[in-house]
Chains A and B, each alone.
Chain A
Amino acid sequence: MYSQDMLASIKKVEATRASRIGVEPRRMSAEEKDALLKEFHPDYRDVGFDTLRVGVNKGDKVPVELRALLEGKSRVSGLDLDLEHPDYDVDVLVIGGGGAGSSAAVMAHENGANVMIVTKLRIGDANTMMAEGGIQAADKANDSPAQHYLDAFGGGHYAAVPELLRKLVMDGPGAVKWLNELGVEFDKAEDGTMITTHGGGTSRKRMHAAADYSGAEIMRTLRDEVWNREIPVVDFTAAIELILDENGHAAGAVLLNMETGRHLIARAKTVIISTGGAGRLHYQGFPTSNHYGATADGLILGYRAGVPLLYADTLQYHPTGAAYPLQIYGALVTEKVRSMGAMLINAEGEAFMHPLETRDVSAASIIRECKARGKGVTTPEGQAVWLDTPMIDMIHGEGTLEKRLPAMLRMFLKYGIDMRKVPILVYPTLHYQNGGLRVNDQCESCIPGLFVAGEAVGGIHGRNRLMGNSLLDVIVFGRQAGISAAKACKDVHLGKPTLEHVNKFMAEMKAAGIEPTEESPKLLPHYARTGDAK
């Protein structure tokens, strides 16, 4: 399966392997990390960013592709919509059916609200489903929420919003317990003790997992709970704009049936945006580990309504995306592979860094190894480094990789690569939107009745997120959004529904001389080959 050149490089990796077992490479100093990031992390490439010309973040830089959508043409432009006669009328409207949306719906239901989920694909078609490595929570004797806070705050370059990060770490153990009581099967020892490992940048082993299907196990359980509670799920239906009432209170959304093209109106006393990330916008041309619908829709809707963005210029490139073979280019290779001892090795067989630096540092280091040091392995798509997976069974015993990383093993075996025996090729892949809409620790935005949860929120992680803190964030903030929305809807008396905020935004764009280049929200990436297919 590997080319002759790759096989020759593998020989060099094999030659140093035995001497690397049990030896921990040096970690970088704070100064080394800062210099590395500035030179090699994609967030520092000016060409990838443009300055916003309208809205509350006017003057801030955001990725080029995101600006085109924030300054895009509304999909309700020119439509004759009857907002007064809704097709759905509920207490809580949840937009997005991933981990955050499903948690929110369950908790809104638990708190007595009439709740409905709309999702443009199916419930569970979400980044949560694809999270492999695990979920952090400070529940061991040598650990504490404060220690978790320190790891995340430092890893995120001291930029996290303190009240959000406090909420994340303090509610962490409770979130894991809630999942466990719903039936999520965490890896445990015989006596019930959670089996926990390190992630990049953690100072305590607090990564809880369900093999390397951690997110899938959480997502399918949450989805089952939504179904058990018979919460309505309107699938293949996208929200294309928020509706506010005449007093500026959230009042529902304009929906689009993805298949028939029919528009529908949902009236709601409170709305939760839980639309996830943006990997499918392929910032700076990167491949992505994200699911098909990750197109930042909620950011567009919220921004037009007046909710500020926080850290929209910081993205996470997961250091280990699959770089070979082509069929899985960009797919996630979980950080758990490194947690279990596999090292990052260059074409010469050298361990060029500590395998558990934070993600931004690791990604930048891999890029430097390939672009500046000429020590990458050439692949059809460019360059890559080795992730020395055979180390795992050497360290922990034969059979460990198969038991703890079944999804990874299967993914590569499909293409004839047995990662127990040979290393795999990796390169950074667009993985996570660190930034997003601004909320407080009750998930309230500045628009009354509008809540946000999950990857669509900005500020929880600062400018870089640690492994295992996003699965935690979708549960902690998803649950909170559901509780907050259910509570808030009790006192809501909606006024006349309007789309005035959209008209106002479009007028502002026109006044600024902006000609939209595309419709937004994007909803799905355009992968169909255009032109004449034979």
Chain B
Amino acid sequence: MADKMITVYLMGKKYEVPESLTIMGALEYAGYELKRGCGCRNGFCGACATVYRVKGSSELKMCLACSTKVEENMYVATLPYFPLVKQVYDIEKVRPQEQIMMQLYPEIYSCIGCNACTKACPQSLNVMQYIAYAQRGEFKKCAEESFDCVMCGICSSRCPAGISHPQVALLARRLNGKYIAPEAKHLTERVKAIEEGEFNALIEDIMQKPIDEIKELYNNREIEK
């Protein structure tokens, strides 16, 4: 089945491409050998932030090139890099207190509430909301709201206050993961027991068994329901 060809404008230049392609596929179909703006090719790494307009509309749209299909008369520009502000900190020394955001990312308090970040997010996250949580020191909520962030930086490219939303969210998630979420006591205890040699005999016992005996054990092992 031959694909219908449509017209797209890649960095403003006109190409005819099959309509089933993603924007990334269209770039390669047009002959681009990608080096930047291409990472996991499946929506996890945030390398392929892209902006586009469709002819006849003034609306500026944002997406990931790897997981967005081309449209007729689409004008595409890739955004392979965006300068986010990343503040350096020592995870062992910071604490999940409100002032940490004021110290590291004070610009979040300049948010004017335009919501351009949320409108632009290719993951459909409520970006402005998670920044609001960060402002109030509600790191757990900020972490949950921002969890699916791929750090493509599109939100920041639209922000009149100069906020680096993905970095703010990452700080909140690390604070949540390390300090706020309850400790896994069984993990702490198991690590200690291994360090004290409690599991050495068990592992050595299985390692010294002849292969046939291990096969027997494996094929008849009980599987937890």
Contact, CB under 8 Å: A326 / B39: no
Question: What are 11 inter-chain pairs, A to B, with CB distance below 8 A?
Answer: A149-B207, A154-B219, A158-B214, A169-B203, A185-B177, A228-B91, A328-B67, A407-B148, A410-B148, A529-B28, A534-B15
Residues on the B chain within 8 Å of A29, using CB: 219
Distance between A283 CB and nearest chain B CB, rounded to angstroms: 18
A4 contacts the other chain (Cβ, under 8 Å)? no
A291 contacts the other chain (Cβ, under 8 Å)? yes
CA of A203 to CA of B29 in the docked complex: distance in angstroms?
46
0/1 string, B126-157, CB within 8 A of A gives 1 = 00000000000000000100011011000000
Q: Which residues of B contact A (CB under 8 A)?
A: 1, 15-16, 20-22, 25, 28-36, 38-45, 47, 67-69, 86, 88-91, 123-124, 143, 147-148, 150-151, 170, 173-178, 181-188, 190-191, 194-195, 199, 202-203, 205-207, 211, 214-215, 217-219, 221-224
Segment of A43-51, A66-74, A140-148, A344-352 engaged in the interface with chain B: A140-148
Distance between B28 CB and nearest chain A CB, rounded to angstroms: 5
Most buried by B among A181, A213, A216: A216
Residues on the A chain within 8 Å of B20, using CB: 326-327
Contact, CB under 8 Å: B221 / A410: no
The B-contacting residues of A in range 168-203, CB under 8 angstroms, are 169-170, 173-174, 176-177, 180-186, 188, 190-194, 198, 203
Contact, CB under 8 Å: B15 / A407: no
Residues on the B chain within 8 Å of A534, using CB: 15-16
Contact, CB under 8 Å: B178 / A181: yes
CA of A154 to CA of B42 in the docked complex: distance in angstroms?
32
Residues on the A chain within 8 Å of B148, using CB: 213, 406-407, 410
Residues on the B chain within 8 Å of A312, using CB: none
0/1 string, A106-145, CB within 8 A of B gives 1 = 0000000000000001101100011000000111111011
Distance between B225 CB and nearest chain A CB, rounded to angstroms: 9
Contact, CB under 8 Å: B89 / A228: yes
Nearest residue (CB) in B for A332 is: B42
Residues on the A chain within 8 Å of B185, using CB: 192-193
CA of A190 to CA of B182 in the docked complex: distance in angstroms?
7
Residues on the A chain within 8 Å of B124, using CB: 410
The verdict on A407 contacting B40 (CB below 8 Å), with A181-B178, A228-B90 known, is no
Segment of A219-227, A262-270, A497-505 engaged in the interface with chain B: A219-227
A sample of 6 more A-B contacts (CB under 8 A), given A203-B224, A217-B147, A224-B86, is A125-B39, A145-B202, A173-B191, A192-B182, A236-B36, A291-B45
The verdict on A259 contacting B35 (CB below 8 Å), with A150-B214, A192-B185 known, is yes
Residues on the A chain within 8 Å of B39, using CB: 121-122, 124-125, 129, 291-292
Nearest residue (CB) in B for A292 is: B38
Nearest residue (CB) in A for B150 is: A216
Contact, CB under 8 Å: B221 / A203: yes
Q: How many of chain A's residues touch chain B, expressed as a range?
A: 35 or more
Residues on the B chain within 8 Å of A414, using CB: 67-68
CA of A118 to CA of B96 in the docked complex: distance in angstroms?
33
Residues on the A chain within 8 Å of B45, using CB: 124-125, 129-130, 216, 291
Q: From the candidates B35, B183, B223, name the one contacting A236 in the complex (CB within 8 A).
A: B35
Residues on the B chain within 8 Å of A30, using CB: 215, 219
CA of A406 to CA of B190 in the docked complex: distance in angstroms?
30
Contact, CB under 8 Å: A185 / B176: yes
Most buried by A among B143, B148, B195, B205: B148
A19 contacts the other chain (Cβ, under 8 Å)? no
Distance between A195 CB and nearest chain B CB, rounded to angstroms: 10
Residues on the A chain within 8 Å of B205, using CB: 146
0/1 string, A259-284, CB within 8 A of B gives 1 = 10000000000000000000000000
CA of A414 to CA of B43 in the docked complex: distance in angstroms?
11
Distance between B122 CB and nearest chain A CB, rounded to angstroms: 10
CA of A220 to CA of B86 in the docked complex: distance in angstroms?
13
Residues on the A chain within 8 Å of B218, using CB: 150-151, 153-154
Q: From the candidates A224, A225, A230, A380, name the one contacting B1 in the complex (CB within 8 A).
A: A380
Nearest residue (CB) in A for B148 is: A406
The B-contacting residues of A in range 509-534, CB under 8 angstroms, are 524, 526-530, 533-534
CA of A174 to CA of B218 in the docked complex: distance in angstroms?
25
Residues on the A chain within 8 Å of B22, using CB: 327
The verdict on A407 contacting B186 (CB below 8 Å), with A146-B199, A192-B181, A327-B69 known, is no
CA of A183 to CA of B90 in the docked complex: distance in angstroms?
12
Distance between B207 CB and nearest chain A CB, rounded to angstroms: 5
Contact, CB under 8 Å: B194 / A527: no
Distance between A456 CB and nearest chain B CB, rounded to angstroms: 18
CA of A130 to CA of B151 in the docked complex: distance in angstroms?
14
Distance between A36 CB and nearest chain B CB, rounded to angstroms: 15
Q: From the candidates B35, B41, B217, name the one contacting A291 in the complex (CB within 8 A).
A: B41
Residues on the A chain within 8 Å of B34, using CB: 292, 524, 527-528
Contact, CB under 8 Å: B222 / A203: yes
CA of A213 to CA of B39 in the docked complex: distance in angstroms?
16
Nearest residue (CB) in A for B151 is: A220
Residues on the B chain within 8 Å of A141, using CB: 186
Contact, CB under 8 Å: A125 / B206: no
Distance between B145 CB and nearest chain A CB, rounded to angstroms: 12
Nearest residue (CB) in B for A178 is: B191
Residues on the B chain within 8 Å of A533, using CB: 15, 29-31
Distance between A412 CB and nearest chain B CB, rounded to angstroms: 11
A-B pairs with the 8 shortest C-beta distances? Answer: A183-B174, A154-B218, A192-B182, A185-B177, A146-B202, A183-B177, A125-B39, A183-B178
Contact, CB under 8 Å: A185 / B43: no
